[in-house]
Chain A
Amino acid sequence: MKETNDARFKSLLKQALRPISPELQRDLWPQMLRRIDERSPAKTVPWFDWALLAIVVISNLVFPHSILLLLYQL
């Protein structure tokens, strides 16, 4: 009697639950990266750095030959 109940219970459980595949259905890494990005505060370039970049660009426009010297030091 008990064994019959167990078998019935087993078949009911199998019907009620979806079969589970051991393989992942999708790549979880992109989702993980998205969550990390959401947690970190949005990074914006401060105005000070834009000003410094402008100084570099203007100096290279005024003295174009200095680009070669700059590249030599990079």
Chain B
Amino acid sequence: MNTHRFLRAYMAGIVVPTIAVPLGLVVFFIARYGFQIPIPIERVVIFPMALIPTLFGLWNMLYARLSTGRYFPLGLHGALLPVVFIPLGMAGAVAGQFLSLGSKGIVWFDAITIPYKLFVPWIAVVMIVYYLIWKYLVGFCNKILELP
């Protein structure tokens, strides 16, 4: 299967977030209505639903381009995606008015505060999650669609 390489890469890339986003939404609904955490769901869901699957697809297309003729670890490629995602997500959160900078740390949803000293470790955890997702889940989809 040598044709439509980038289309296959895009399709393989969007599988995981397309499945994960509805599951994530369920968790948000449980947090909002079950645990009464004041999350403005209608504003929060815009970023995950609109952008993340598309960016996964585009990032996998970039991988298909970069890995042509050379070895490039997919996990490492995926781990770099939060470098793009986190600023975009935070910008979306500021625009949606559910992120602010407090005296002790970054306040999300007017309820969750990440102390400034834990911000970098939090980014590292996000990168680890992305590394694992891309190495195993996106890698599996790529294998099925006969991508490197």
Binding site for B on A (CB under 8 A): 45, 49, 52-53, 55-56, 59, 63, 65-74
Contacts and interface: CB of A to CB of B under 8 A. Distances in A.
B122 A71 contact: no
5 contacts: A45-B136, A49-B132, A72-B89, A72-B93, A74-B24
Given A68-B37, A69-B108, A72-B47, A52 B132 contact: yes
A66 to B, nearest CB: 6
A55 B28 contact: no
Nearest to B92: A72
Contact of B131 (A52, A69, A71, A73): A52
Interface residues of B, number: 35
Contacts, number: 62
A70 B52 contact: no
Given A53-B132, A66-B125, A73 B85 contact: yes
B126 interface: yes
B114 to A, nearest CB: 7
Interface SS of A by simple majority: helix
A59 B108 CA distance: 18
A74 B125 contact: no
B129 interface: yes
A38 to B, nearest CB: 16
Contact of A74 (B20, B39, B118, B136): B20
B128 interface: yes
A37 to B, nearest CB: 12
